[in-house]
Amino acid sequence: MFIAANWKMNLKKSDIKDFLYFLKKNDFSNKIKLCIFPQSIYLSYLIDLLENTSVLVGGQNCYYELSGPFTGEISPECLKDIGCNYVILGHSERRTHFKESSTHVKMCAETALKTSLTPIICVGESYEDRMNNEELNFIENQIYHSIPNIEENFYIAYEPIWSIGTGSIPTNNQIFKMHDHIKKIAFSILKKDIKVLYGGSVSPNNIDEILKVSNVDGVLIGGASLKIKDFLAIYGSVAKHVNNN
Ligand code: PGA
């Protein structure tokens, strides 16, 4: 099981210090991979605080070139250089606010893989697409254009846009159907199985229900990963789940 904590543009240095103080008191399960994605300016700070723990750190985004005249961008090679293992790519907030296309996401993923970073490639349909029963087609198209067609290691995060930060989540049946669809499409391209995370309003209240979906390989948590109490409650549910299965 994978737990990814996407802090987005939140938490200052002192907040991170407090969060880590409580997080480090926790026992970490070796059956859970836990990775935190802070704002890029705090990556090194977090990596230092997490020294000698099994908690991993990743970037919230990166560019598709390794270096050069790209003011404001983040090189995947430098993420790797400072000790990151993962990078989130194609988050719906990047796609919406920064107009990142699936082609762009794919190029970033290919470069990230060259530096041995593991991308978590996000896909997700709008509310309108779901209302028009277009969600399966939309996701299929997004995957074809966003994932590298090389047989490498990466994750896909299914994050319906209408669920991010809203408190409404798909039913277990809808999650199962979409994860199954994503895995089948990825298999047809890569000829290998891929792991799929669910993201969108994951909270201590719904995590047990989400974990009942057999093809959920982990969760990408936004808002609920900012408060240590909520985050540890989710971690505890995942730990119980992996121990019972
Ligand atoms: P949320 O965000 O958990 O606050 O809905 C998830 C995400 O955007 O990755």
- Phi-psi region at 112: left, alpha or beta (left = phi > 0; alpha = psi -120 to 50): alpha
Using a 6 Å CB cutoff, which residues line ligand 1? 6, 159, 164-165, 199-202, 220-224
Query: Taking the CB of residue 245, how many other CB atoms lie within 10 A of it?
Result: 9
Which pLDDT does position 193 carry in this prediction? 94
Give mean pLDDT in consecutive 10-residue pieces for the chain, a chain of 245 residues: 98 97 92 98 98 96 98 98 97 97 97 96 97 97 92 92 97 98 95 96 98 98 98 97 92
Give the active site residue among 100, 125, 135, 159: 159
Name which residue sits closest to atom 2 of ligand 1, judged by CA: 222
Instruction: Give the integer Cα–Cα distance in Å for 51 and 125.
Output: 38
State the DSSP H helix or E strand holding residue 111, giving kind and residue range, or none if neither. Answer: helix 102-114
179 included as an active-site residue? no
For the CA of 201, the closest atom of ligand 1 is 5
Contact 231, 224 (CB under 8 A): yes
Which pLDDT does position 245 carry in this prediction? 85
Residue 144 DSSP label: H
91 included as an active-site residue? yes
Name which residue sits closest to atom 7 of ligand 1, judged by CA: 222
CA dihedral defined by 197, 243, 8, 223, rounded to 10 degrees?
A: 100
For the chain, list the domains and their CATH numbers: 2-243 (3.20.20.70)
One-character DSSP codes across 8-70: TT---HHHHHHHHHHHTTSPPPTT-EEEEE--GGGHHHHHHHTTTSS-EEEES---SSSSSS-
Using the structure block, give the residue that is written with the tokens 């719904």. 206
Closest CA to 34 of 242, 245, 212, 189: 242
How many residues would you count in the chain?
245
Which pLDDT does position 27 carry in this prediction? 87
Which pLDDT does position 150 carry in this prediction? 76
Q: Phi/psi of residue 199, each to 5°?
A: -140, 145
- Residue to substitute in 3, 6, 169 for testing ligand 1 pocket (most ligand atoms within 8 angstroms of CB): 6
